[in-house]
Amino acid sequence: MQSAKNKRLSKAKNAGKTRKWVVFTRTALGVCLTAGVVGVPKAARAQYAGHVSSYVVDVNSGAVLSQVDPDLQRYPASLTKLMTLYMTFRALKAGEITPDTTVPVSIHAATQAPSKLGLVPGTRFVVQQAILGLVTKSANDAACALGELLGGGDEVRFANMMTQQARALGMSNTTFRNASGLPDPDQVTTARDLSMLAQHLVQDFPEYYHYFSTPMFAFHGRMIPNHNPMLKTYAGADGMKTGYTDLAGHNLITSAQRSNVRLVGVVLGARSNPQRNAMMASILDQGFASEGVAPMAPLHPPTVLARNVRRRGHASGGSSAVFEVAEAPSGPRRYQPLAHGTKHHVVAGANVRMATSRHVVSTRKKSRHQKG
């Protein structure tokens, strides 16, 4: 009897110790996470779409002209493709590939969610078509195929290369997980970091920057318009990228030049495309005004695009229904295989030597993770 009583007392005592240990462990883990000791990624706040982060910088001087929550962690959506393009331009400049290098289309690439070109597994297209597919339609299948080419057949390896390059450029709060920007909870960035990337695209690759102002391009007999509305409406705008997912909100990076002043603006997490576009125009106007550049009236889209109505059931270049998203609700489009006469070129071990942030005036970052 006494033995049974002792066992019960011992069991209760051990249970009490276990509860104390659990409480201690949870408390210690909470302190470590707060202090940043444990290497667990902080949860991205981009799910609060509607809380906007913005940033405007003078590319030539590096002067920051305006900023709102520039270090708040966000989801990049299709702005991810700017790093895919940076890696592509770097490989072009290094002679590792050419605009005519063939890009194989894997099953993995072909089955990416829209927006897409509708690439068919086993076919091939060329690097220049891939570039144009990214800057105009924001094609996820083209981005994945390009990433696989540069990553030696592995998009995951390419994403790691993208992150390495981001660190080399000073983008310390950015991590990439794919080449397209399709949703991944670990793929995060900030407005400040994306501004650095945009500046490097302008400064490091002036010979390729013209791609961003392409109004449209022909692919398999179909004209594909550029989704960037700022090219048609904002005086001086000559490039960059749009992006959208439900969790990221409506994102936009715009580069514009007036007189001898070039600005890069970033807007992340807007509630709608009209709000995003209006905010971008406003912060760029303020930026140019602070640099002493006279204001200019908004542009108007060319009427020729407005008359180019639907063709083969697809929205025209002037249609407001055109999506500039990582996940547009449209089905894949299929084409016949391309000619196989050109020798296939594989970049099997892409050079991982990274460019540096030598051209960008860097600023010290102080992370702020505020509630949206």
Q: Pairing between strand 124-126 and 216-219?
A: unpaired
Helices assigned H by DSSP within 72-154: 81-93, 107-110, 127-132, 140-150
**What is the identity of the amino acid at 157?**
R
Other C-beta atoms within 10 Å of 348: how many?
A: 8
Amino acid at 368: R
Catalytic: which of 54, 115, 138, 195?
Answer: 138
Q: Is 282 a catalytic residue?
A: no
Q: How far apart are CA 315 and CA 304, in angstroms?
A: 14
78 catalytic per annotation: yes
Alpha-carbon span 159 to 352, nearest angstrom:
12
Catalytic residue among 81, 116, 137, 241: 81
Catalytic residue among 53, 78, 115, 195: 78
Phi, psi of 253 (to 5 degrees): -120, 130
The β-bridge relationship of strands 216-219 and 222-225 is antiparallel
Which residues are within 8 A (CB) of 26 and not within 5 positions of it... i.e. 6 or more apart? none
Point out the residues that are catalytic. 78, 81, 138
